[in-house]
Structure 1
Amino acid sequence: MDVLVTPTPELKGSIQALSSKNYTTRYLLVAALAEGTSTIHHPAHSEDSDAMRRCIRDLGAELEEDDEKIVIRGFGSAPRDVRELNVGNAGAVLRFLMAVAALCPDVTFVNAYPDSLGKRPHDDLIVSLRQLGVEVDDHGGKLPITIRGGAPKGGKITVSGNVSSQFLSALLFLAPLLREDSEIEVLDDLKSKVVVGQTLEVLEQAGIVIEASDDLMRYRVPGGQRYQARDYRVQGDYPGSAAVLAAAAVTRSEVTIHGLPEQSRQGERAVVDVLRMMETPLVHEGDDITVRGNGKLKAVEFDGDAATDAVLAMVAAAVYAEGTSRFYNVENLRYKECDRITDYLTELRKAGADVEEKRDEIIVHGKPEGLEGGVEINAHYDHRVIMALTVVGLRCRRPLRIRDAHHVAKSYPIFFDHLQALGANVEWQE
């Protein structure tokens, strides 16, 4: 389905932030890798987290869920022998479970989204799994991928961090369960170090011991460990909330989002700092963020690697800022559900934005007077692009029609419900 975004001068009200998708998928996985019963309070519900639920159930975990929590009895280091797993369009879920599948004799990950996840590369993780003695059949590093494992061995492992930190996280989930100790060395650069920090945080909470170097490029992982069954509480989701905060910044607004802790380790918390740099009136106290937007924004320069999943929303705000903004160190945006640099900027230009790209940069020449709009644009099946283009549409002079906007459900199924509750003129179109 499409969404029609009609110019909206004012937003007002309060919403509760969705639970974090990144933490939910990690908690689901460590609960499945434990042998006892774990409880996750306030888990996220999205296509990605639901994909993890579905796959760990297929692998032998027992799940019971109500409105507030999910109780999981894990399979430990002995997942069920399954022939196929379908992760939908969830890249992180695929990569984490490719590593876990090394404990299984023969698992094929199917290609359910050939135009999105099916185009994304996984070569770097495949190289690392082969170092463990795992046989992998793939199609140029892409889906469908078959893992033939059963008895992976630890030792010295190298992994490239140049494309995604998810490959490293996948190995960190697997390595503690191997008999041998492991030493993991990251080659090249490491993207999204903050997200690796979240993985290490969750592993520590699950009772896993890992020694990491200060620069997060080298790890020593004792083998023969067991995940502990624990209780976990999921915090609010900054990546999704970034788009709502950006929407409040580009309009006249008084918008409060509850459930976003000041001390969060989510890198996308930086959206608060960036909006302050853009001179957006904003207060962050405890778990509440209040934006009193006046639509006046200043240009910024920002290293986007620290807050990958908030960059598109910040770019959307910069479209209406006075001056030229620069978001650098963002090449890994090219390897997401779509090329989030070229594809996103192509659609922004259709709406009238003045934007440029380099290999690892997005440059925005702001238009405080607003954009013309009045066009149909393609979100390339990407939830982050959908949310960011919606922010832009709120301040166009004529409506924007965003195609296939239902794919927002990948991370934020009620995004448009939340915007409507705040007064945004958005409506579904057949």
Structure 2
Amino acid sequence: MDVIVTPTPRLEGDIQALSSKNYTTRYLLVAALANGTSTIHYPAHSEDSDAMRRCIRDLGAIIEEDDKKIVITGFGNHPKDIRELNVGNAGAVLRFLMAIASLCPDVTFVNTYPDSLGKRPHDDLIDSLQQLGVVIEHQEGKLPITIRGGQPKGGKITVSGNVSSQFLSALLFLTPMLEEDSEIEVLHDLKSKVVVGQTLEVLEQAGIIIHASEDLMHYKVPGRQHYQAKEYIVQGDYPGSAAVLAAAAVTNSDVKIHRLAENSKQGERAIVDVLRMMEVPLTHEHDIVHVQGNQRLKALEFDGDAATDAVLAMVAAAVFAEGTSRFYNVENLRYKECDRITDYLNELRKAGANVEERQAEIIVHGRPEGVEGGVEINAHYDHRVIMALSVVGLRAKAPLRIKDAHHVAKSYPIFFDHMKSIGAQIEWV
């Protein structure tokens, strides 16, 4: 399904931030890896978290849930012997479970999204798992991928960090359960260090001990550890909220988003700092971000590596800023559901934005007067692109039609409901 976003001069209202997808998927996994029963309060409901639910159930976890919580009885370090797993279009879920599947004798991850996740590379994780003695069949690093494991061995492991931090996180979930101690060395640069911090935070909450170097490039992991059954509370989600905050910033607005913790370790919390630097009137107190936008924004320069999943929303705001903005150190955006630099900027240009790309940079020449709009644009099946293009549509001079906008459900199924509740003129077609 498509959406048509009609120019909307004013947004007003209160919404509750969705629960964090990143934390939910990690809590689901550590609960499944525990012996005993864990409870997760306020879990996110999205295609990614639903994929993790489905897969850990297939691997032997027992799941019961109601509107406010999920109760999970885990399978510990003995996942069920299963032949096939379908992670849908969820890259993080695939990578985390490729590591856990190495405890199984023979599992194939199927390819149900050949034009999205099916195109993404996983060679770096495959190489690391092979160092543990796991046999892997793959298609040049891409799905379908068959893991022949059963008895992975610890020891010295290297992993590349310059495409995705998810490869490292996958190893951090697996290695504590191995019989041997492990040492993990990250090669090259490590992208999205903040997200690795979230993994380490969740592992610590689950009772796992990992000794990480200060720069997060070296790890000593004692083996023979056991995940503990615990209670977890999922915090509000900054990556999804970033698009709503950007929408409030580019319009005349009076919008509050609740449940956004001021001390959160989510890197995308930087959306608040970025909007402040753009001189957007806002406050952040008592876990509430209150934006009173006046359609006036200033350009800025920003290192996007620590806030990967908010960069597209920041760029959407910069489209209407006075001056030229530069978002740098963002090459890993190219390795997401689509190439979030080339593909996204091509669609922004169709809408009338003045943008340039470098290999690891996005440059935005702001147009405070607005953009033309009046076109159909392709979001490339990417939830972050869909949300960011919706922000641009609010300040276009004519409506934007966004193709396949239902893929927003990957992380934020009720994004358009929330946007309409604060006054955005959006309709499904």
Is TM-score (shorter-chain normalized) higher than 0.5? yes
1:189 is paired with a residue of what secondary structure? coil
1:179 is paired with a residue of what secondary structure? coil
Aligned residue identity for 2:240: G
Query: What's the RMSD between the two structures over aligned residues?
Result: 0.2
User: Are 2:206 and 1:206 aligned?
Assistant: yes
Residue 103 of structure 2 corresponds to which residue in structure 1? 103
Following superposition, the deviation at residue 77 of structure 1 comes to: 0.1
**Structure 2: distance between partners of 1:317 and 1:261:** 22
Residue 395 of structure 1 corresponds to which residue in structure 2? 395
Aligned residue identity for 1:322: E
1:225-240 equivalences under 5 Å are 225-240=225-240
Following superposition, the deviation at residue 372 of structure 1 comes to: 0.4
Residue 76 of structure 2 corresponds to which residue in structure 1? 76
1:10-409 equivalences under 5 Å are 10-409=10-409
**Structure 1: distance between partners of 2:300 and 2:121:** 32
Identity in percent: 82
**Structure 1: distance between partners of 2:351 and 2:73:** 49
**Structure 2: distance between partners of 1:361 and 1:9:** 30
Residue 9 of structure 1 corresponds to which residue in structure 2? 9
2:172 is paired with a residue of what secondary structure? helix
Q: Deviations over 1:78-109 (max 9, x none)?
A: 00000000000000000000000000000000
Aligned residue identity for 2:334: R
1:4 is paired with a residue of what secondary structure? strand
**Structure 2: distance between partners of 1:194 and 1:419:** 28
1:170 is paired with a residue of what secondary structure? helix
Following superposition, the deviation at residue 271 of structure 1 comes to: 0.3
User: Runs (4+) of structure 1 moved beyond 6 Å?
Assistant: none
Q: Deviations over 1:1-58 (max 9, x none)?
A: 0000000000000000000000000000000000100000000000000000000000
**Structure 2: distance between partners of 1:7 and 1:162:** 39
2:94 is paired with a residue of what secondary structure? helix
**Structure 2: distance between partners of 1:9 and 1:212:** 48
Aligned residue identity for 2:390: T
**Structure 1: distance between partners of 2:93 and 2:301:** 32
Q: Deviations over 1:195-222 (max 9, x none)?
A: 0000000000000000000000000000
Following superposition, the deviation at residue 282 of structure 1 comes to: 0.4
Aligned residue identity for 2:251: T
Aligned residue identity for 1:107: V
Q: How many residues align?
A: 429
Aligned residue identity for 2:97: L
Following superposition, the deviation at residue 272 of structure 1 comes to: 0.2
Gaps of 5+ in 2: none
**Structure 2: distance between partners of 1:295 and 1:174:** 48
Q: Deviations over 1:124-165 (max 9, x none)?
A: 000000000000000000000000000000000000001000
1:95 is paired with a residue of what secondary structure? helix
Aligned residue identity for 1:132: L
Aligned residue identity for 2:160: S
**Structure 1: distance between partners of 2:68 and 2:419:** 23
**Structure 1: distance between partners of 2:291 and 2:144:** 44
Q: Deviations over 1:276-318 (max 9, x none)?
A: 0000000000210000000000001000001000000000000
Task: Name the TM-score, length of structure 2 as normaliser.
Answer: 1.00
Following superposition, the deviation at residue 400 of structure 1 comes to: 0.1
Following superposition, the deviation at residue 170 of structure 1 comes to: 0.1
**Structure 2: distance between partners of 1:287 and 1:85:** 38
**Structure 2: distance between partners of 1:286 and 1:242:** 18
**Structure 2: distance between partners of 1:83 and 1:306:** 37
**Structure 2: distance between partners of 1:91 and 1:265:** 21
Task: Name the TM-score, length of structure 1 as normaliser.
Answer: 1.00
**Structure 2: distance between partners of 1:156 and 1:306:** 27
**Structure 2: distance between partners of 1:207 and 1:427:** 47
1:275 is paired with a residue of what secondary structure? helix
